[in-house]
Amino acid sequence: MTPESTTKPLRRLESLDILRGFDLFMLVFLQPVIIAVGNVWHPEWLQPVLHQFDHEVWEGFRCWDLVMPLFLFMTGTAMPFSFAKYASKGASPALYRKIGRRFLLLFLLGMVVQGNLLGFDFDRIYFYTNTLQAIATGYLLSALIILHCGVRTQIILTIVLLAVYSLPMHLWGDFTREGSFANMIDSVVLGRFRGDPSYTWLWSSLTFGVTVMLGTFAGRIIRNAGAMTSRTALTLAAIGVGLIAGGELWGLHQPIIKRLWTGSMTLYSGGWCFMLMALSYWWIDVCGHRRGLEWLKIYGMNSIAAYILGEVVNFRSIASSLTYGLAPRLGDFYPAWLTFCNFLIVFLILRHLYRHRVFLKI
C-alpha cells in the first residue's frame, strides 16, 4: 500500500449513499417515467425538462450526461474507504483477486445489460458497450494506481492518462462521429462486436480511469479531514469550480463530447461531480439534514442490483396483467402507466432487500 495510507477509523459516508441513490433513482425511475409521459403529453413547459433528461446529440452537455460520470466518480470516492483496511498489510494476492473478480463480474454484467448476452445469439453479442464496463475498467486502472503510487504520483498519472488520450485524438482524426481516433480504435479492435457506433469505449477507457481517479481524490480529501466540517465541503466545491472552468477552457480546443468521453468533458463533468459531492456532504454529513432523503439509500446501498433490475428485467407484463382494465380509461397514457408500475416494482423489490439488509456486493 502507498505511504500516505492511514489507519483512521472508517466512517460510512451517508452523503455518498444518498447521492448514489439519487443518481440511481434518476436512472431507474424518474427519467424513464418522465420520458414516457412526455411521449403522450406535450405542454410547452415540459419540453425544456425533456431536453435535459436526454443525452446531448454530440457536442455539448446536458443534465442527463452527468448520470454516468457521477456513477464512475462515486465508485472512486468509495475506494479510499474500502481500500483502507489493507493499509497495514499492503497489497496481497487476495486483494488482487478481489479487484480482478470485481472487474470481470462488472464487465460480464455489462454484457448482460447491453451486450445482448442473454439473447443467446452470437451474431448479436456486443463486447464493450455499457456503463458497468466503463466502471470496471476505470476501477481497475484506479485500483492499480492507488495501490502502488503516492498521492503526487497519482495526480501525475491522472494527468498522463488525459494526455495519452488526447494526443492521438488531435494528431489522427477529428472530433466527429466517424473521424475520431477513438472511433477508429473501436472499429478496428471490436469490429462486429461493438455496439452503438455513436459511443466509443476502448480508447475512452483512459478517461473513464480519470473520472474514477477524480472520485478517489474526493474520497481521500473527505477521509483525511477526519471530522465532518464545512471547510472540507468548501475544498471539494473549490476543486469543482476549478475543474468546470478548466473543462470549459479546454473545450475551446477539444470539444466537450460525452459520447467520446473527451478530456474536456472529463474535467467538466468531474467538476460537477465534485460540486454535487460537496453539497451532499455538507448538507447531510456536516449539517445532519437527512430527513426526507434517507429513502434514497434504498437505491444507493444496492446500486448494482438497482441498475440490473431497472435495465434488464421487464416488470411491465406483471403490471399489464393486473391493470389491463385501465387501458381504455387511460388511453394514450396507458404505456406511461405501465412504465411507472415497472419501476415502482423495482423500487418495492429494492425496499424489501434494504429492510432485510440484503445488498448485492461485487
In a domain, 32, yes or no: no
Domain membership flag for residue 38: no
Q: Is 222 exposed, middle or buried (0-12, 13-18, 19+ CB in 10 A)?
A: buried
174-191 pLDDT, tens per residue? 999 999 999 999 999 999
- Where do the H-state alpha helices sit in the chain? 14-25, 31-38, 46-52, 67-82, 93-113, 131-148, 151-171, 181-189, 205-225, 230-251, 263-280, 297-300, 303-312, 316-323, 327-330, 334-355
User: What is the count of structural domains for the chain?
Assistant: 1
The answer to whether residue 335 is domain-embedded is: no
pLDDT in tens, 86-112: 655 666 788 899 999 999 999 999 999
User: What is the CB neighbour count within 10 angstroms for residue 276?
Assistant: 21
The one-letter amino acid at 149: C
Is residue 7 situated within a structural domain? no
Residue 58 pLDDT > 60:
yes
Q: What is the pLDDT of residue 87?
A: 59
Place of cell 411507472: 340
Q: pLDDT digits over 127-172, tens only?
A: 999 999 999 999 999 999 999 899 999 999 999 999 999 999 999 9
What's the pLDDT at 7? 43
Q: What domain range includes position 123?
A: 14-26+59-288
Helix (H) or strand (E) holding 88: none
Per-residue pLDDT of 344-353, as tens digits, reads 999 999 999 9
Round the average pLDDT of the chain to a whole number and report it. Answer: 93
Inform me whether the pLDDT recorded for 251 exceeds 50: yes
The rounded Cα 12 to chain-centroid distance in angstroms is 19
CA distance 257 to 207: 12
pTM metric for this prediction: 0.93
Q: Is residue 174 part of a domain?
A: yes
d(CA 127, CA 347): 29
Dihedral sign for Cα atoms in the order 72, 76, 78, 79? positive
- Is 49 within a domain? no
- Looking at residue 121, what is its pLDDT? 87
37-41, 86-90, 213-217, 255-259 — which is least confidently predicted? 86-90
H or E segment at 179? Answer: none
Q: Is 60 left (phi over 0), alpha (psi -120 to 50) or beta?
A: left
Residue 346 lies in a domain: no
